[in-house]
Structure 1
């Protein structure tokens, strides 16, 4: 059995200004069926910002981050399919593997998942602060830490040719975007698509639409610079958000897109999404709004036009199936995921990374460990 480790991690304790502190924590050894991972890269995601900006409530102190990639360092008893040295991507939605949804191939809909409560499947945590109090890994990962402990089924082995920074994004933003296209919307070649929001998840959706053969692919954002980036990711057109958006989409698609994706989590844009699709089209909600937000949608018009609204939870991913699938597409040059990373940082720069996100300056910041990178 390995011993308890001292690790540095970004911790949120409810600071009203949304600031994180880099603290020294104690990490218990992996229990039965668990693995300890030396984190090499952790993405800075909008879901983390929802927490530290007070929009979502989680147990505290919270070890932040949920997009992680690294190397297996130690295994608990009963682990058979992983070994020290394996490169892995971590799945934050740690489904129970036993309920009807899990056994029916929909682990993202698991009714017993504890990840949203920042608990491991057994309801506990492996983290303690300097005073011995329990600390809780956000979404059962706590990626912004030198090491983490997760159940073995949440650590998905990946080809070691995939760079750690890219691999970390497959665990959430890139995986969610890919899954929203391939799993939730099941986009077919030649279908028209619009993506509202050209951040990390939006860019991932655009890249996946290109791979799926969608055409045209229309990116929508308030930033002309991000629209230019979206074109490099595979968008055929870019439109600035605002009045006249629905008319602009209708003109480019001949009456509305077959499928539209909202990748921001803003109530206003979610409500407007059905206006961007043609009769019989699909509107996919991928972005996550603050807690307690309600939408106003014309139900009669929705029914009359035969439109479908799809909620996308983790892109409908089956991590053991989809993570390697996405990694293979990246290695084949079919998914240009490197372009999603606009900055690399160290753990000590974590607050600067969130400030840049609030200002809308970056697509994605990735925190690199072991001195691998400096912020650009």
Structure 2
């Protein structure tokens, strides 16, 4: 038995999102159907359009979602019909070697997600006209108003949390917050540089402030984003790393920042090298941004070794979805994390291409898609 959904599909690199009627399979063993109420319009979904993240196409977009469990398949134990949930764009099986060590963000069941199919190799979405199977971004597809996914990719949340802010914690907030707290290891009194303060970086600013940083320095060429960063925890904001360095040196005895978090939309090796040069001895650069392999990262091996610097990649803020999504929402409820202030504009599904045009124009801190039912 199939139900129907309406969602935004990307068919080819460089194309526009197309809103289509979709057929949706019933949830299988260990799977749930979610009535999606809201979806974050994350830059990662735009990477499908630009080709910066290689995926098999077509795909139903969207991985930041919040909604209500509408149906459950056989063997579901974590969730029940009527539960409010946020999606987890990375699964957490709970039993692999990585999950057992508290590293759900690299769970083994995340392998092969670029195809958009479930672990059994089949799709849950299909074209409502041709019947062709269609994959889903991160095995989710929150740009559709209904989706089917594994119970390992849905986290129960409190019923009183608005869906339009809960969805943001599914990726952007957790990734940004964790990139500072977990990835860069920010500590009290640190001087932290956050390079790129869009939907992810703005939460690295919040995370660094939460961790006790004395100086959170935001770097972004867009004036609007610099202004918002100052509202959400940054002490100073500059257009470039070069512009920021006189202040950083003035508060670190010329040593450089303790940490740098790279959260630009698309990164290249030169920018990573600039961030690496901006940190002190034993400092850490945490790279969150997606980029290409060429032309490489032009850092000096001598500088890496003699100054004992750290360069690391960070995935989902090195967070554990089952623990950290509820924890971040608890911070929100207690006033320690700002979520309402992140949402610049809400869009309908039919406005999805307008939303990404606004993102590229630097008009949004975060856009949110509100589904109709």
Task: Tell me, yes or no, whether TM beats 0.5.
Answer: yes
Contact 2:224 2:362 in 1 (8 A): no
1:128 and 1:292, CA in 2 relative to 1: closer, same or farther beyond 3 A?
farther
> The residue matched to 1:200 in structure 2 has which SS?
coil
2:67 is the alignment partner of 1:70: yes
Contact 1:96 1:121 in 2 (8 A): no
Aligned to 1:105: 102
Question: What is the correspondence of 1:335-350 to structure 2 with a 5 Å cutoff?
Answer: 335-350=337-352
- In 1, the alpha carbon distance for the partners of 2:44 and 2:338 equals 23
Aligned to 1:236: 235
- In 2, the alpha carbon distance for the partners of 1:291 and 1:138 equals 22
- In 2, the alpha carbon distance for the partners of 1:140 and 1:38 equals 15
How far residue 15 of structure 1 moved from its aligned partner, in angstroms, is 5.7
Aligned to 1:200: 199
Aligned to 2:325: 323
- What does the per-residue CA deviation read over 1:222-248, in whole Å, with 9 as the maximum and x for residues that have no partner? 122211110110111111216444344
Contact 2:224 2:363 in 1 (8 A): no
- In 2, the alpha carbon distance for the partners of 1:15 and 1:108 equals 27
- RMSD of equivalent CA atoms: 1.7
- In 1, the alpha carbon distance for the partners of 2:345 and 2:85 equals 22
1:242 and 1:177, CA in 2 relative to 1: closer, same or farther beyond 3 A?
closer
Runs of at least 5 residues in structure 1 that lack an aligned partner in the other structure: 372-376
Aligned to 1:286: 288
Aligned to 1:27: 24
How far residue 209 of structure 1 moved from its aligned partner, in angstroms, is 1.3
- In 1, the alpha carbon distance for the partners of 2:352 and 2:98 equals 36
Contact 2:219 2:241 in 1 (8 A): no
How far residue 295 of structure 1 moved from its aligned partner, in angstroms, is 1.7
> The residue matched to 2:202 in structure 1 has which SS?
helix
Q: Choose which of 3, 7, 10 in structure 2 pairs with 1:9.
A: 7
How far residue 339 of structure 1 moved from its aligned partner, in angstroms, is 1.7
Question: What is the correspondence of 1:98-247 to structure 2 with a 5 Å cutoff?
Answer: 98-113=95-110, 114-129=112-127, 130-241=129-240, 243-247=242-246
- What does the per-residue CA deviation read over 1:148-185, in whole Å, with 9 as the maximum and x for residues that have no partner? 11111211001122211111110000010122122222
Q: Choose which of 357, 366, 369 in structure 2 pairs with 1:364.
A: 366
1:206 and 1:277, CA in 2 relative to 1: closer, same or farther beyond 3 A?
same
2:261 is the alignment partner of 1:261: yes
Runs of at least 5 residues in structure 2 that lack an aligned partner in the other structure: none
Contact 2:259 2:284 in 1 (8 A): yes
- In 2, the alpha carbon distance for the partners of 1:338 and 1:364 equals 10
1:302 and 1:361, CA in 2 relative to 1: closer, same or farther beyond 3 A?
same
> The residue matched to 2:291 in structure 1 has which SS?
coil
- What does the per-residue CA deviation read over 1:61-95, in whole Å, with 9 as the maximum and x for residues that have no partner? 11011111111111011112211111101111124
> The residue matched to 1:343 in structure 2 has which SS?
strand
Contact 1:249 1:256 in 2 (8 A): yes
Aligned length: 368
Aligned to 1:44: 41
- What does the per-residue CA deviation read over 1:131-153, in whole Å, with 9 as the maximum and x for residues that have no partner? 11110001111110010111112
How far residue 322 of structure 1 moved from its aligned partner, in angstroms, is 0.5
> The residue matched to 1:187 in structure 2 has which SS?
coil
- In 2, the alpha carbon distance for the partners of 1:292 and 1:125 equals 33
Contact 1:50 1:290 in 2 (8 A): no
1:218 and 1:243, CA in 2 relative to 1: closer, same or farther beyond 3 A?
closer
For structure 1, which segment, 228-237 or 242-251, has the greater mean C-alpha deviation from structure 2 after superposition? 242-251
1:123 and 1:294, CA in 2 relative to 1: closer, same or farther beyond 3 A?
farther
What is the TM-score with the length of structure 1 in the denominator?
0.93
Aligned to 1:374: none
> The residue matched to 1:322 in structure 2 has which SS?
helix
What is the TM-score with the length of structure 2 in the denominator?
0.94
Contact 2:116 2:135 in 1 (8 A): yes
- In 2, the alpha carbon distance for the partners of 1:299 and 1:340 equals 39
Q: Choose which of 349, 353, 356 in structure 2 pairs with 1:354.
A: 356
Aligned to 1:89: 86
